[in-house]
Amino acid sequence: MLACAEGTPLPDGFLFGASTSAHQTEGGNTNSDWWQLEHRTGTPLAEPSGDAADSYHRWPVDMDLLAELGFTDYRFSIEWARIEPEPGRFSRAATDHYRRMVDGALERGLRPMVTLHHFTLPRWFAERGGWTAPDAVGLFARYAEAVEPVLREGVRHVCTINEPNLLATLTADAAPAPGLPLPDPELTATLIAAHRAATAAVKAAAPALRTGWSVANQVYQAVPGAEEVAAAYRRPREDVFLEAARADDWIGVQAYTRTRIGRHGPLPVPKGAELTLTGWEFYPAALGEAIRHTASVVGDVPVIVTENGIATHDDGRRVSYTRGALEELARALADGIDVRGYFHWSALDNYEWGSFRPTFGLIAVDPRTFLRAPKPSAHWLGRIARNRVLPL
- 361 assigned to some structural domain: yes
Report the pLDDT value the prediction gives residue 255, as an integer from 0 to 100. 98
In a domain, 2, yes or no: no
The CATH number linked to 61 is 3.20.20.80
5 located within any domain:
no
Number of domains present in the structure of the chain: 1
Residue 332: per-residue pLDDT: 98
- Give the residue numbers spanning the domain of 225: 14-386
List the 265-266 sheet strands across, edge first.
Answer: 220-222, 259-262, 265-266
pLDDT for position 178:
55
- The pLDDT value given to residue 392: 72
Residues of the chain with pLDDT under 50: 1-5, 172-177
> What does the pLDDT read at residue 170?
76
Report how far residue 76's alpha carbon sits from residue 18's, in angstroms, rounded to the nearest whole number: 9
Strands (E), the chain: 8-9, 15-19, 73-77, 111-117, 157-162, 210-217, 220-222, 251-255, 259-262, 265-266, 303-307, 339-345, 363-365, 372-374, 389-390
**Residue 4, pLDDT score:** 47
Active centre residues (catalytic): 163
Tell whether 317 is covered by a domain. yes
In a domain, 239, yes or no: yes
Q: What is the pLDDT of residue 284?
A: 98
pLDDT, residue 179, reads 67
The reply to whether 154 falls in a domain is yes
On whether residue 170 sits in a domain, the answer given is yes
Picking from 330, 176, 189, 337, the residue whose alpha carbon sits closest to that of residue 267 is 176
* 99 falls within a domain: yes
